[in-house]
């Protein structure tokens, strides 16, 4: 009888110890083994309420299952994150490390000039770098440019002049405008009779990719 009283007095301490281990984030293997063991103890020798121990064991099993599900979800998120990073790295590498997104403006364009008539512009594009040309009947223009993320346009340098004649450079931007491109000249090198502060804006309409 004295033994039974001592055993009953130990039960609250035993359950508090198990709860403390679980609350502290410690291993749940030990409490599970203890629960399994005392669930099989002969109640006449050690009269613990085995239903409480079994309930504790079942709760720990649920915690383990939920923990595994969370870990699996985290692994899936980490895998997807790695795939996105790898894809972005591939894009950056293929485009020479430039900004992975920029306007796609490659193609052939034209505009009608009041003096020179129909003028055509051809643009080729590699990643976020472009080059192209357009000409009047007597002067050739070739240009190169690269994407400017701040202005959302290509910063271009236009080389103006024919082979063997006076050459100068003009500076400006080229941007996408619906189904057209807009060329804005803001300044020049001040050569060949073209003023430094010369400015011009031209719209070329797309005729094919």
**Cα(36)–Cα(12) distance, integer angstroms:** 18
CA angle 145, 150, 154 (to 5 degrees): 15
How high does pLDDT run on average in the chain?
Answer: 79
Each residue of 196-205: pLDDT tens digit?
999 999 999 9
Higher pLDDT among residues 57 and 114, named by residue: 114
**Would the pLDDT of 16 be above 70?**
no
Residue boundaries of the structural domains of the chain: 2-94, 107-208
This prediction's pTM: 0.52
Please, what is the end-to-end C-alpha distance for the chain in angstroms? 97
In the chain the beta strands, taken as DSSP E runs, fall at 107-113, 117-126, 129-135, 140-148, 153-160, 168-177, 180-188, 200-208
Instruction: Tell me if 91 sits within 8 A of 84, measured CB to CB.
Output: no
Residues 76-127 pLDDT 10s:
888 887 888 777 666 656 555 444 589 899 999 999 888 878 899 999 999 9
- State the CB neighbour count (10 A cutoff) for residue 14: 16
The pLDDT tens digits for 156-195 are 999 999 877 899 999 999 999 889 999 999 999 999 999 9
46 pLDDT band (50/70/90 cuts)?
Answer: very low
């Amino acid at each position: 009888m004295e033994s039974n009283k001592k055993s009953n007095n130990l039960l609250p301490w035993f359950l508090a110890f198990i709860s403390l281990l679980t609350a502290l984030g410690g291993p749940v293997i030990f409490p599970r083994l203890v629960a399994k063991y005392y669930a099989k103890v002969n109640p006449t020798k050690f009269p613990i309420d085995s239903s409480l121990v079994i309930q504790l064991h079942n709760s720990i099993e649920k915690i383990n299952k939920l923990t595994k599900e969370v870990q699996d979800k985290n692994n899936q998120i980490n895998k997807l994150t790695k795939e996105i990073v790898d894809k972005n790295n591939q894009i950056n590498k293929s485009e020479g490390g430039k900004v992975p997104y920029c306007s796609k403006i490659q193609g052939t364009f034209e505009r009608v000039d009041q003096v020179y008539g129909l003028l055509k512009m051809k643009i080729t594009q590699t990643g976020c770098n472009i080059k192209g040309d357009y000409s009047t009947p007597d002067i050739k223009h070739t240009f190169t440019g690269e994407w400017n993320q701040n202005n959302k346009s290509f910063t271009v340098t236009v080389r103006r002049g024919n082979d063997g004649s006076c050459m100068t450079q003009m500076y400006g931007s080229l941007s996408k405008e619906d189904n057209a491109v807009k060329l804005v000249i803001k300044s020049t090198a001040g050569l060949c009779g073209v003023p430094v502060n010369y400015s011009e804006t031209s719209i070329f309409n797309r005729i094919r990719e």
